[in-house]
């Protein structure tokens, strides 16, 4: 197929692009490189440096489907500068959908987020029918796009699948996390393990969990990427479906710290800190629908996830 991948110079988008090329698809990447990296775009894909609002200049009737990753994704920034998130995540997606409608592109796979659920309280694991009450503008914009896709499906025959990620980590096919502002636990722990100085912070030690720290569902980026290929196979014009992507199990912050120490063989000093506002105690995905409808199965363990991320982190270090 001929495919457009928005945000294909980013972490997940570049891994998915590599898998698509490996399957023999022709891929054009649309990315403004505001957070992505041109050298992350796999060889064989065509890179167009442009904003989502310029999608009409890239799409044409020969495109079979769109995989949509381009978005602003920092929760804290979404609170202090929500205009960036509504402009890119919602207005930009609207421009993309209008261009798709104009050119007769009827299939789309969307990179959504568990942030759409907000704080589920004691509900775990979380299913797709759980109430979606976002706790921040980032999550609100992801939910808004889901509503947009559902209405587009009913009115214009768009086939769309929204994949709600929980916590993604690891590296695959030479691609890993390279965020200028790194908020994710695993790469921050690995930075400390690699001698980046200081200690890792544990935000909250008094949660009602098995060791007092927050529990999250950590999914290897390769398993996540493979779900996108399965979604692309199953999307049908006129149909909209939401699928959670996670392992179906969770690890606490302290368990992830121990995994990093175990895999790297390095000390990882930590410092306890107060909870961050809005952080739920437990976020774990119910992935039954993705297993059943997409035929998708996550297979990689937490230690494998950490090991692949560690290998990538070491590959990025400057020679001594």
Structure-token pair, residue 77: 């920034």
Structure-token pair, residue 84: 């960036």
Q: Which of 85, 138, 165, 207 is catalytic?
A: 138
3-state secondary structure the chain: CEEEEECCCCHHHHHHHHHHHHCCCEEEEEECCCCCCHHHCCCCCEEEECCHHHHHHCCCCCCCEEEECCCCCCHHHHHHCHHHHHHHHHHHHHHHHHHHHHHCCCEEEEEEEHHHCECCCCCCCECCCCCCECCCHHHHHHHHHHHHHHHHHHHHCCEEEEEEECEEECCECCECCCCCCCCCHHHHHHHHHCCCCCCEEEECCCCCCCCCCCEECEEEHHHHHHHHHHHHHHCCCCCEEEEEECCCCCEEHHHHHHHHHHHHCCCCCEEEECCCCCCCCEECECCHHHHHHHCCCCCCCHHHHHHHHHHHHHHCCCCC
Annotated active-site residue 85? The verdict is no
The CA distance from 236 to 252, in Å, is: 38
Q: 41-75 burial, b for 16+ CB within 10 Å, e for fewer?
A: bbeebebbeebbbbbeebbeeebebbbbbbbbbbb
Active site residues: 138
């Amino acid at each position: 197929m001929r495919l457009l991948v928005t945000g294909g110079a980013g972490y997940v988008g570049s891994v998915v692009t590599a898998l698509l090329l490996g399957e023999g698809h022709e891929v054009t990447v649309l990315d403004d490189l505001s957070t992505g990296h041109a050298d992350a775009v796999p060889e064989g894909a065509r890179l167009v440096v442009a904003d989502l609002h310029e999608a009409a200049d890239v799409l044409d009737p020969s495109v079979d489907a769109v995989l949509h990753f381009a978005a602003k994704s920092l929760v804290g920034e979404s609170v202090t500068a929500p205009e960036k998130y509504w402009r890119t995540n919602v207005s930009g997606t609207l421009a993309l959908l209008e261009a798709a409608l104009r050119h007769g592109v009827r299939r789309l796979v969307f990179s959504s987020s568990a942030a759409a659920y907000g704080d589920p309280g004691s509900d775990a694991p979380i299913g797709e029918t759980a109430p979606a009450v976002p706790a921040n503008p980032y999550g609100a914009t992801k939910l808004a796009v889901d509503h947009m896709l559902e209405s587009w499906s009913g009115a214009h025959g768009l086939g769309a699948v929204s994949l709600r990620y929980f916590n993604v980590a690891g590296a695959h096919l030479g691609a890993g996390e390279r965020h200028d502002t790194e908020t994710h636990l695993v790469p921050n722990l690995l930075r400390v393990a690699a001698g980046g100085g200081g200690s890792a912070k544990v935000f909250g030690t008094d949660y009602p969990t098995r060791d007092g720290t927050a529990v999250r569902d950590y999914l290897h980026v390769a398993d996540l990427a493979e779900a996108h290929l399965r979604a692309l196979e199953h999307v049908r014009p006129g149909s909209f479906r939401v699928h959670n992507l996670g392992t179906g199990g969770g690890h606490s912050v302290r368990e992830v710290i121990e995994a990093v120490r175990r895999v790297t063989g390095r000390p990882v000093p930590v410092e306890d800190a107060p909870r961050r506002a809005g952080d739920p105690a437990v976020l774990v995905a119910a992935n039954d629908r993705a297993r059943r409808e997409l035929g998708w199965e996550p297979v990689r363990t937490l230690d494998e996830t950490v090991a692949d991320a560690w290998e990538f982190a070491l590959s990025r270090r400057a020679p001594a």
